[in-house]
Amino acid sequence: MKKMISPFLIVACVCFVVAPACSQNNAFTEIEVDTLSSNELAKSIYKLSDYFSDNEDLSRKVEDVFLKLSERQRIAQVIMPAMGKHGQPKNIIDGLVKDELIGGILMLNGTVEEYSSWVAEYNELNSNKGVPGFLYSADAEPSLVNRKVVGTRPVAKANTLQNIEEVKTVAQTISEDLIKIGINYNFAPVVDMAPNKTVGWRSFGHYPDSVISWSAEFIEASQNLQVMATAKHFPGHGYVVGDTHEKLVFIDGEMREVKNYPPLIEAGVMSIMIAHIAVKNNEKYNTNGMPATTSKEIVTDLLRGELGYQGLIVTDALNMGGVKNVSNANVLALEAGCDILLMPLNARQAHAEITEAYQSDIDFKANVDAAVKRILRAKICLGLI
């Protein structure tokens, strides 16, 4: 297995103070992070830097936790709905949590205060139930974070950054603010190139020679602070025409942006997001008119097999136009090799659909079990278990 870069050590009873932000209207004008106690990381002997290591004790811990989970709880690990302004109502999420049907939540358009309250509430509920802690995620890209997580300290947008030191500073600022809330999973950075107007202003791709090194710096700075980073949108959204939020779009021929990923995999990126992009006129990796999210050729054969990726693979939001009309998309995405289903149209129904396939198809069950173990490994390394 590949090693993570720059392991991060957390020392008990040590805290650091972040300098005041420019605006006094932010919730984080000054914050203290006391050994990342929001998710009790100080109690864990494992860190994110252990995830890709050949640690036999960690592997035994994963297996031990897995065996203690019921079938319902295992399947729950792969489902991540959203809550917030553009997510599900809180009463829906409350029911999913109480019934142990989900393993994480995307915080989608809300405030620092709202998110902090929700995280604290669900952490207490999960603790009382004795189930694994949640992955709490956010679209905390430099270009989106101040709009998606209102009250965070202002940072420059990705397409305005000028050098790698600015990238590092922005990543650290974002991660520190997420930690204070209790968010442990960032769907950033965007590693697409700049031509596509939907993603171009959100990426470092306006400097083509720097997109890989800057993305690697963002990933390292985030994960050194115990926030999982995500390279997106595989196999590449920068050169396509159209917006996957609205419809299925196509890579015609060569997947030129796949070359951005091997250095980031080598650097230890914890998560890669699959886009709802079809591939045509590519003899080896044609998706036959289906989104890459549901394509075994893209997820398992290319990303897992050819590129050797062993981290978490998350779908882009499953309510997007590029995939929402695909029948049985939840099961197909897991069959393809994805680990986490982000924003399924109906999380409760998704759990039922997955359960049915899990109980009737031994190969599908093996896929889901492998995904669950990857997720549990990440949660252990985050100190959530």
Residue 325 in domain: yes
Residue 315 in domain: yes
* pLDDT for 33 beyond 50: no
What integer pLDDT is reported at residue 13 of this predicted model?
34
- 143 contacts 202 by C-beta, under 8 angstroms: yes
What integer pLDDT is reported at residue 242 of this predicted model?
75
Q: What is the C-alpha to C-alpha distance for residues 2 and 326, in angstroms, rounded to an integer? A: 35
Tell me which residue range forms the domain holding 277. 15-381
* pLDDT for 120 beyond 50: yes
**What single DSSP character describes residue 183?**
-
Please provide the distance, in angstroms rounded to a whole number, between the alpha carbons at the two ends of the chain: 22
Q: What is the mean pLDDT of the chain?
A: 88
> Cα 325 vs. chain centroid, distance in angstroms?
23
Average pLDDT over residues 256-272: 96
Residue 150 in domain: yes
Residue 216 in domain: yes
Over the stretch 191-221, which tens digit does the pLDDT of each residue have?
Answer: 988 777 777 778 887 777 889 999 999 999 9
What integer pLDDT is reported at residue 240 of this predicted model?
82
What integer pLDDT is reported at residue 27 of this predicted model?
53
Residue 245 in domain: yes
Transcribe 207-265 into DSSP letters. STTTHHHHHHHHHHHHHHTT-B-EEEEET-SSS-SS-TTTS-EEEES--GGGGGHHHHH
* pLDDT for 39 beyond 80: no
* pLDDT for 47 beyond 60: yes
Over the stretch 338-373, which tens digit does the pLDDT of each residue have?
Answer: 999 999 999 999 999 999 999 999 999 999 999 999
Of the candidates 110, 105, 209, 213, the one whose C-alpha atom is nearest the C-alpha of residue 167 is: 213
In single-letter form, the type of residue at position 142 comes to P
Residue 10 in domain: no
pTM for this prediction: 0.88
What integer pLDDT is reported at residue 26 of this predicted model?
52
- Pairing assessment for the beta strands 110-111 and 149-150 based on DSSP bridges: parallel
Residue 3 in domain: no
What integer pLDDT is reported at residue 145 of this predicted model?
94
Average pLDDT over residues 20-37: 40
Q: What is the C-alpha to C-alpha distance for residues 179 and 227, in angstroms, rounded to an integer? A: 7
The verdict on whether omega for the bond into residue 195 sits within 30 degrees of 0, i.e. cis, is no
In single-letter form, the type of residue at position 104 comes to G
Question: The domain spanning residue 336 has which CATH number?
Answer: 3.20.20.300
* Radius of gyration over every alpha carbon of the chain, rounded to an integer in angstroms: 19
Q: Classify each residue of 65-87 as buried b or exposed e, where b means 16 or more C-beta atoms within 10 Å of its C-beta.
A: bbeebeeebbbbbbbbbbbbeeb
Domains in the chain, number: 1
Residue 8 in domain: no
* pLDDT for 31 beyond 70: no
Question: Which residues lie across from 185 on neighbouring strands?
Answer: 137, 228
* pLDDT for 23 beyond 70: no
Of 13-17, 207-211, 259-263, which gets the smallest average pLDDT? Answer: 13-17
Average pLDDT over residues 112-130: 94
